Structure 1
């Protein structure tokens, strides 16, 4: 009896896991060559399987009488869960996979044979995605024999040149399309920093950068730089102009910090047990930051090492106490009879879930949704609510999808909030709320309860 494809793949994974290194360096390099070829071919196989899965799911949705404009919704999300990547990355990969099958078959065949890398295939896809299908297929037939030995950048240049040659107007079309996709991006960086980027038409980008540079040079020339470098002044000007605040370190009210009382005020005589006052705090929408960074934000000073206790005491901030279960370290449950998640309940869910609760998504929370549908009798409560991105809020309403809260032993709040997500194919995935920064997880003395502060920072005057 022939082996099932999944069983055969499982056997291959086992063999790779137990692979021994070759005895000589020459053979080790040969192993690396072959392993890279296997990795390339695996990406080609994933592309083929993804497109076949997309086709079959769309056909199934048609049988379920899903409106045509909604068919395909949730497919990339299931691929993302299976591959342990974000839904947005899965959507991009699925688009490329379909292009490799329909528009770039030569490039797809090279990837499936392991002769080019996934990044090289992505470069060809990206540089030709504005062409009509027939033109794209012609570029592919001309290009594929020449890219097996090219670098990723070289393949991109070759694809771009071939696209320009076959359609001289493509540059204008692509520029017009790109201008319609302008936007702003944000992602957390290390050491308490973040990267804020603008995808702009080139002329606007040059104008914005030159304006920041010109004004920053003027500030330094007039002696108002306070020892800051040109790049530091430009960064501060960017924040001040976008937020309207007079100083970059005067954080607006929308930002919230979560920290223990020890992290904010230092160790106190009545602290239940010694804890690190410099452990990680949490910034809503960003993630963990050093406690010194959080104290600097509360005090409204630029130097993360600078806030003194009097500066923290004078800070323009509102403090809200948040209690956790003394045994589990989980946030305590609160209930409400309202239909919409708002006010305290909305803030509570954001603090508990931190980012979108869908496994591997990690997008910012856009919606606060009922796990058991409100129309089915689901309560508007913290236990029945979760923070998710807008994309999943639409996906979970597709036929066959189901979400459910499960409880371990004990009442809600005594264990991590856990949701089981069932996809249209019957696959199940668990999503457990992350731990509260600095929370104790062992049982303390009877009657002791953890105290945290969420800090809504005032606009500095």
Structure 2
């Protein structure tokens, strides 16, 4: 018996029908079925939450103690979904939060543009917030599908964290200080006689360790090493820890300072603002934590300031080149602006800096015509039928319009620019004194206020 499915368009599609669809119709069918999966997940969420209510009422009528109301619901959910009781409890918790605290996310699932997994990510990243703040993020991100159009899971997580840091900056800073005591290293088995060795480290140490390994991989690949980037990083880690007396075997470049790029607004760095900062390769961090990180680097003379934007209205520093390749400064700017691969829904790290419009079609080598891509996406865009065009979104952000071989279009918007400037001071001398005071007393950065005479 052939399987039959009904899509959001109301058309029943069987196995024989799929074989007769054109390329364009196949793409549309895949999208329709994806929306159907999201709608089915929303229905499961509502049924799960309702099951909890019904069982609790039955337990109350039976005279069970209040702390026993609802016992066994998670197991029933697990049985129905053919999953473990632990996963059943997670599904139950998700259903209760979505139906009671995050109505916009649930509505997005019903509409078919938010999957159950992405809803789970939003619930997880807002778990530490109050009900009021959680509902605010829910409304900001999930009211309109255009808000998160093209975002990968990592981008969604980072945006939710950024808003959470902004809404509750002091609590997040206190938690980050306390979390350093939880650092540890663990090991667990992996398939094919391999192992996962994980280290939970403070962000400044973790990012620095990763940067050292990444630099080693870049150096090895540049000198013709046939190993993959991951293999070089793994080999360097093992060689550094187990054979420190033989550094030549690690294929590492000469030792020196490790560059960790922190993008932070003027208002956050110099005027006590609460807008989160961004660490390349990691993601958003609370404002107070970022200021402490800058102050520690300054105290050790390890910090360099570089202004990326001419203003906070969306105008970017003008940069271009006559070269076919992006020079180092322009490449760094694109990497800091884009943060991850610009292909919609791809969160892979940036490996290539490429022209939006191919150089062969007179596309200039500039920040506006540049984009950061992972290696796989850069090769994929060279396939016949793929085109892209750089534009600017209504809110001033860099935007890339992508057209697939079937004529379907999607947009990729760059992340928000760091907002805000320092407040206006009566004179440059007053401003300089305020900056020096805030950076000198780095352990009191959030508390220091310099009045203007």
TM-score scaled by length of structure 2 = 0.43
From the CA coordinates, give the structure whose radius of gyration is larger. Answer: 1
Higher relative contact order (CA 8 A, sep 6+): 1
TM-score scaled by length of structure 1 = 0.42
